[in-house]
Structure 1
Amino acid sequence: MSDHFVTVLGADEPIAEVRLNRPEKKNALTLEMLDALVAAGKDLAGKPKLRAVILSGEGTDFCAGLDTGALMAMAGKLDAVKQEMLTPPEGEAANRFQLPAMIWSQVPVPVIAALDGVCFGGGAQIALGADFRIATPDSRFSIMEGKWGLIPDMGISQSLPRLLPADRAKELIMSVRVLTGVEAEKYGLVTRLADDPLAEARAFAEELAAKSPDAIRAGKQLVDAIYAGTPAEHLRLEAVLQAELMGSPNQVETIMANMQKRAPVYR
């Protein structure tokens, strides 16, 4: 199974690999890629032989975040985008933009993200939706939406509370700080470091696949339940806050200042 920019390998094998496949753009996300990730996750969730999933990016980077072209296209139809944000698909708590990160919690087996190069913005949130993250020491990780006058809104309300205390979460969201892999591990955003994250992820997946599949699935379900809050309310809050920010004067000024490489002038 594959989309033009998302490739799934071994979908019917015990260990499947899902790869962002746009290396010439540092695997920057288009809306079609987001939808393809959701489709891949839903398909894998129904595979009875599946034991583990590995997420990675083709080339030297995991994901540079949302493609600027996609961002500009969304800016041209803000009302429709906001409506889509505030109206999740039937039967889902998460909206179209949250599902690419949240879908991995619906996959009943461990999901391991292998992180090389940059892991920014939407890419970081997708990685945070995995159960484990393995990164190189010199990889770069940032929750970058604040650069554009926005907040992270791809399931961050579900992932960060499990990993960080509130002050650390606020620091990363507000400062748009870029962490190295070493720093991200110290913060708790990365599970472990490796010079070759994909090889390490494959070895870890093989280790987990050798365990009782019932116990592994139950273990994931147990921990997710222990750490669960009220996902529907939290995901709704992400969407409401983001919809209020999008297209507001200060958010537009943030974008223009970035594009024109000048200091922003806020109201």
Structure 2
Amino acid sequence: MAKFETLEIIHKDPNSSVFHLYLNRPSRRNALSRDFFSEFPKALSFLDQNPNVNVIVLSGSGDYFCSGIDLDTLNSQFEKSRSVDRGRASERLRRDIKHMQDAITAIERCRKPVIASIHGACIGGGVDIVTACDVRYCTKDAFFSVKEVDLGITADLGTLQRLPAIVGYGKAMELALTGRRFSGSQAEQMGLVAQAFGSRQELDDGVSVIAKEIGGKSPLAVIGTKAVLLRSKELNLEQGLDYVATWNSGTLLSEDITEAVSAHLHKRKPTFAKL
């Protein structure tokens, strides 16, 4: 299993295709360091390329999911920028921001579905992460905040681009401008999460059941569904239909359909080949 400084990969059930990826800086409330932005896409690529992985559950170690970008990371960026002239400082800062954006977008580039399992706080950069995930669940007492505006920053790692499509433009604007804290129950009401569970244990148990259910489906159908839905955000209806037709023309001839139909007729669980 790959080793990282800021992350941990755990395969809890050897008979399951569900793998767990943990933000693993509990002493810093899983604040996102410079190392995280280098390690996160590598961890996702490792899991994506592993044929034993069908589903990834993203969680936080300790009491928080994520408290946002580590302020030491922000300070180091500004200190580096002050050491050169303004034009070069701006170019370097833009490059750093693009590097961090790319790390978050790695969630969408990952073929396998990524499920966010959120407890405690999900602040700033944590919201950037979960809005890039494919499905989100949380505890009712979890809390969220698009906090960047309170730090004098325009949120720049994806929240402002992804949140409106999830909760609506007006709600996203209100949350981003106020930076206010809202609960897991409120997140469920506005559609940010699919479900808010009563406790951490209920969250873990519930997400485990859902992840295993998805993991038992045709891997080709699952990655195709993710790919087509992501692409649909930038295509009109006709283009989207053309894209899915092209996608399916390349995958419908697999043995997965035969196996799915046979399993249904014989009332058994299907068994699909690994990707």
TM-score normalised by structure 2 residue count: 0.75
Amino acid aligned to 2:4: D
Greater fraction helix: 2
Q: Give distance in 2, aligned partners of 1:156 and 1:84.
A: 22
Report how far residue 178 of structure 1 moved.
0.7
| 1:150–1:39 Cα change, 3 Å | same
- C-alpha distance in structure 2 between counterparts of 1:211 and 1:217, whole Å: 10
Q: How does 1:182-193 map to 2 (within 5 A)?
A: 182-193=185-196
- Equivalent residue, structure 1, for 2:61: 58
Aligned residues: 225
Amino acid at match of 1:223: L
Structure-to-structure mapping, 1:139-158, within 5 angstroms: 139-158=142-161
Partner of 2:220: 214
CA drift at 1:162: 2.1
Q: What residue number does 1:224 align with?
A: 230
Specify whether residues 95 and 29 from structure 1 end up closer, same or farther in structure 2 by C-alpha distance, changes over 3 A only. Answer: same
- Structure 1, unaligned stretches of length 5 or more? 89-93, 230-267
* Structure 2: distance between partners of 1:210 and 1:158: 32
Residues 122-164 of structure 1: CA deviation (Å, up to 9, x unaligned): 0111111111111110101111110111111112244223202
> What is the CA distance between 1:34 and its match in structure 2?
1.9
For 2:99, the aligned partner's letter is R
Structure with larger RCO (C-alpha < 8 A, sep 6+): 1
CA radius of gyration, larger in? 2
| Aligned amino acid, residue 3 of structure 1 | F
Structure 1 stretches (4+) deviating beyond 6 angstroms?
Answer: none
1:167 aligns with 2:173: no
Structure 2 partner of 1:105: 108
The correspondence for 1:120, drawn from 119, 123, 141, is: 123
Tell me, yes or no, if structure 1 residue 204 matches structure 2 residue 210.
Answer: yes
Residue 6 of structure 2 is matched in structure 1 by 5
Aligned equivalents of 2:231, 2:123: Cα separation in 1: 28
Q: Are 1:14 and 2:17 an aligned pair?
A: yes
1:41 to 41, 44, 58: 44
C-alpha distance in 2 between matches for 1:20 and 1:213: 25
State the alpha-carbon separation in 1 of the partners of residues 191 and 169 from structure 2. 13
Q: What is the rounded CA distance, in whole Å, between the counterparts of 2:119 and 2:192 in structure 1? A: 14
Distance 1:128 1:138 in 2: 19
* Aligned partner of residue 77 in structure 1, secondary structure: helix
Is the CA contact (8 Å cut-off) linking 1:121 and 1:145 kept in structure 2? yes
Unaligned runs of 5+ residues in structure 2 are 236-275
Q: From the superposition, tell whether residues 84 and 157 of structure 1 become closer, same or farther in structure 2 (CA, over 3 Å).
A: farther
Alpha-carbon spacing, 1:136–1:42, altered in 2? closer, same or farther (3 Å): same
Secondary structure at the counterpart of residue 99 of structure 2? coil
Q: Distance in 2 between matches of 1:126 and 1:191?
A: 16
Answer yes or no: is 1:180 the counterpart of 2:180: no
1:183, 1:201 → 2: CA distance? Answer: 19
